[in-house]
Amino acid sequence: MNRPADNTLRIALSDAGISRRDFLGFCATLAAAYALPASSVIVIAAALENASRTSVIWLSFQECTGCTESLTRSHTPTIEGLILEQVSLDYHHTLQAASGEAAERAREESMRANAGKYLLVVDGSVPLGNPGYSTIAGVSNFDMLMETAKGAAAVIAVGTCAAYGGLPAAQPNPTGAVPVSQLIKDKPVINVPGCPPIPVVITGVLAHFLTFGTLPELDGRGRPTIFYGESIHDRCYRRPSYDQGKFAESFDDEGARKGWCLFKLGCKGPVTHNACATTKWNNGVSFPIQSGHGCLGCAEPDFWDMGSFYKALSMPATPVRKAVAGAAAAGVGAGVAVAFANRAKKAAAKAAHETVKVEDLTKKP
């Protein structure tokens, strides 16, 4: 899992057959996300290549392993994977070779040797309903989180489960699942939601720490604004057809074939903040909307309880004209019927539809 200390990322990239051009492309993506000028690409590249190793302890609680899969999804080396290797990943439930008592000793040793300096990454939610619902080495998720967080410099909650509760917390939340931020109050908690999160977003947060020695700026929901500052809708390539009132009405109609807006088919892009429309997936190949399916809203709190992935956020009585769409995007508009009720208030989850103001749904945290 760990490379020798004298083995730099520069050598690892070369060994993995990743070209300088591809690596600089990755750094350019980060520079754009960090809103830095093009001239900073070389600075980021140099900093990453020579970054000192940061100790990372990664705990997995109630989750599906999709977050780790996302990061290590490829069987060929990726820049994201190599960035992960650039840190000293001292303990990771899924990736570590050690098991049993040796694995637990590695966690304790890392906590002791790097006290106050290590990053704690958590994926999955924490069950409070009964500590015995989820245990590792006989230790409840709650106890392991609190014990490991004590000496961490910061905690990164990776995935919607860790950030907001996610699927385990979906109603009726049988395990009493809670997100990390509900339990850790005495140090920074950075939420990196998405079910799963985009690999480059996970590594982008780590790379920010390796490059600048700091964590990125966060929004009101604890997410890095560099990746979650805009909605999918803001940057969607189908946005012009939304503005023109051109909607696919079914997945196989003429509008769908022409690539029109998927809003009426349940796309949650207007209320979902993530970088899918810009960084895309699979090394920038595509993202769900580009594949003809609406956004599910997986990076938002309570997305499992929205009622239906295929229920439209609103059904305008008349085609959305540019001025109206512009007003909606700006957060100024009349009330609309929505199925994303939990976004506005939890208590409305049982109702499939509720009238709320557009600004409640589109405002940025």
List interacting residues with ligand FSX (CB under 6 A): 63-67, 123-124, 159-161, 166-167, 195-196
Residue 80 beta carbon to ligand FSX: minimum distance, rounded to whole angstroms: 16
| Nearest residue (CB) to ligand FSX, 66 versus 204 | 66
CA-closest candidate to residue 306, choices 336, 335, 266, 333: 266
CA-closest candidate to residue 123, choices 27, 196, 176: 196
Residue 157 beta carbon to ligand FSX: minimum distance, rounded to whole angstroms: 10
| Nearest residue (CB) to ligand FSX, 195 versus 306 | 195
CA-closest candidate to residue 101, choices 53, 148, 136, 130: 136
| Nearest residue (CB) to ligand FSX, 260 versus 281 | 281
| Nearest residue (CB) to ligand FSX, 84 versus 336 | 84
Residue 334 beta carbon to ligand FSX: minimum distance, rounded to whole angstroms: 34
Q: Which residue is nearest to ligand FSX (CB)?
A: 66
Residue 309 beta carbon to ligand FSX: minimum distance, rounded to whole angstroms: 14
Residue 325 beta carbon to ligand FSX: minimum distance, rounded to whole angstroms: 31
| Nearest residue (CB) to ligand FSX, 177 versus 329 | 177
| Nearest residue (CB) to ligand FSX, 73 versus 246 | 73
CB 226 within 8 A of CB 216: yes
| Nearest residue (CB) to ligand FSX, 29 versus 68 | 68
Residue 122 beta carbon to ligand FSX: minimum distance, rounded to whole angstroms: 9
CA-closest candidate to residue 50, choices 13, 89, 91, 15: 13
Residue 19 beta carbon to ligand FSX: minimum distance, rounded to whole angstroms: 30
| Nearest residue (CB) to ligand FSX, 92 versus 238 | 92
Residue 66 beta carbon to ligand FSX: minimum distance, rounded to whole angstroms: 2
Residue 40 beta carbon to ligand FSX: minimum distance, rounded to whole angstroms: 31
CB 193 within 8 A of CB 159: yes
Q: How many CB atoms lie within 10 A of CB 189?
A: 24
| Nearest residue (CB) to ligand FSX, 65 versus 72 | 65
